[in-house]
Amino acid sequence: RILLLLTAFSLLLLSACGREDLSVMNPQGPVAQGQLDLMKLAITIMIVVLLVVFAIAAYVLVKFRRKKGQTEVPEQVEGNFKLEVIWTVIPLILVIVLAIPTVGQLSALGKDYTKDENALQVKVTAHQYWWEFSYPDLGVTTAQDLIIPTNKTISFVLDSNDVIHSFWVPSLSGKIDTNFAGDDDTKGTTNKFHFSAPNEGVYRGKCAELCGPSHAFMEFKVKSVSPEEFDNWVASMKAPAVLPEDEMLAEKFRSACLTCHAVGDQGTAVGPNLTGIGNRESVASMLLNEREGQEGASVEDNMKQWLHDPQKVKPGNKMPDPIDLGLTTEEIDAIAEYLASYKLDYETNSAD
Ligand code: CUA
């Protein structure tokens, strides 16, 4: 039965490793690498301890079992100084071996980069159920896709707009809570955090704290691009807003959407900033946009699916039904097409 349990448990562990993009076993940066090394060290020590203890237990079971015809009580041993020293000193050494790198990692993790001029400062604000990323030094705000340059320390200050969420990019770092401070920002509930990504790539991030009915859909992406592309992206984010060409539609978009959303230099930043939303990896976190090597529907189809029934895609989110905002089905389709086509040309390859 024990064997069965162990097998079931290991299968459970293995099943969690199935998604490589959401696995801590596939580190893509120094912070995640350090944490994986620590886990490996701890697990190795635990396995060795387990094997030694099991081996001794098995040996004792066989060696001191009641022999056939044995009736008398065997010799009773009361204490053994040598043995007691051994089984006190060995765990002590193991704890020290574990403690030194753990404390080292913790202090590296706790290092404050918010005043570091070489680090890129990013303010993360979690909302039910989306992520806001702003770059205070660059004057840029975006949502859902966090764009970062490679090989640079990204220094995060994290906050929440409502309940507690948790910021987690398994391949780049561990988790950190985003707390809600309300109107009082002096409570010291703001968290600090940092990581860097040496390679270009798209890394999957997730909210790791149960925060409501759509917690499971509160995903985001970290897109690490070359420093040159990053500069291009910042410049294109600051360019004047691109509105629907059709004047009537632009007016509808302004009155229905820009009262909560912002594009470029226009609108209100209550909901997600929509500048360049056509470039994003997904619509509403979970509707993956088709990309090379990634399954998904076209941005346009995803945008339509979302706008025609936001509550179905992400239950409990704060996006009103566009029909209730006075838009017709045709106008919703047209706005979806406009948003899907709102792309920023910052990738150096595609610009060539
Ligand atoms: Cu936000 Cu779970």
Exposed/middle/buried for residue 189 (C-beta within 10 Å: 0-12, 13-18, 19+): middle
123, 134 Cβ separation under 8 angstroms: yes
pLDDT at 58: 97
Tell me the C-alpha distance between 95 and 171, whole Å: 27
Q: Is residue 173 part of a domain?
A: no
Instruction: Render each residue's pLDDT in the chain as its tens digit; 352 residues.
Output: 777 788 777 776 665 555 667 888 889 999 999 999 999 999 999 999 999 999 999 999 999 888 888 888 888 888 899 999 999 999 999 999 999 999 999 998 889 999 999 999 999 999 999 999 999 999 999 999 999 999 999 999 999 999 999 999 999 998 999 998 766 666 668 899 999 999 999 999 999 999 999 999 999 999 999 999 999 999 999 999 999 999 999 999 999 899 999 998 888 888 999 999 989 988 988 888 888 777 888 888 998 999 999 999 999 899 999 999 888 999 999 999 999 999 998 887 644 4
Whether residue 209 has its Cβ less than 6 Å from ligand 1: yes
Whose Cα sits closest to atom 1 in ligand 1? 165
Q: Is residue 268 part of a domain?
A: yes
260, 268 Cβ separation under 8 angstroms: yes
Q: Out of 60, 75, 109, pick the residue that ends a domain.
A: 109
Question: Domain span at residue 99?
Answer: 2-109
Q: Out of 57, 86, 109, pick the residue that ends a domain.
A: 109
Q: Is residue 297 part of a domain?
A: yes
Whether residue 165 has its Cβ less than 6 Å from ligand 1: yes
Whether residue 256 has its Cβ less than 6 Å from ligand 1: no
155 alpha carbon to ligand 1 midpoint, in Å? Answer: 21
Q: Is residue 132 part of a domain?
A: no
Q: Is residue 54 part of a domain?
A: yes
Q: Could you identify the atom of ligand 1 that is nearest to the CA of residue 128?
A: 1
Q: Is residue 63 part of a domain?
A: yes
Tell me the C-alpha distance between 134 and 9, whole Å: 42
Q: Out of 109, 143, 164, pick the residue that ends a domain.
A: 109
**Count of the separate structural domains present in the chain:** 2
Q: Is residue 237 part of a domain?
A: no
Q: Strand order of the sheet with strand 201-207?
A: 145-149, 219-225, 201-207, 165-168, 175-178
176 alpha carbon to ligand 1 midpoint, in Å? Answer: 12
User: Cβ contacts of residue 4 below 8 Å, gap of 6+?
Assistant: none
Whether residue 124 has its Cβ less than 6 Å from ligand 1: no
Domain containing 332 — which CATH number?
Answer: 2.60.40.420
Q: Is residue 260 part of a domain?
A: yes
For the complex shown, is ipTM > 0.90? yes
Domain containing 49 — which CATH number?
Answer: 1.10.287.90
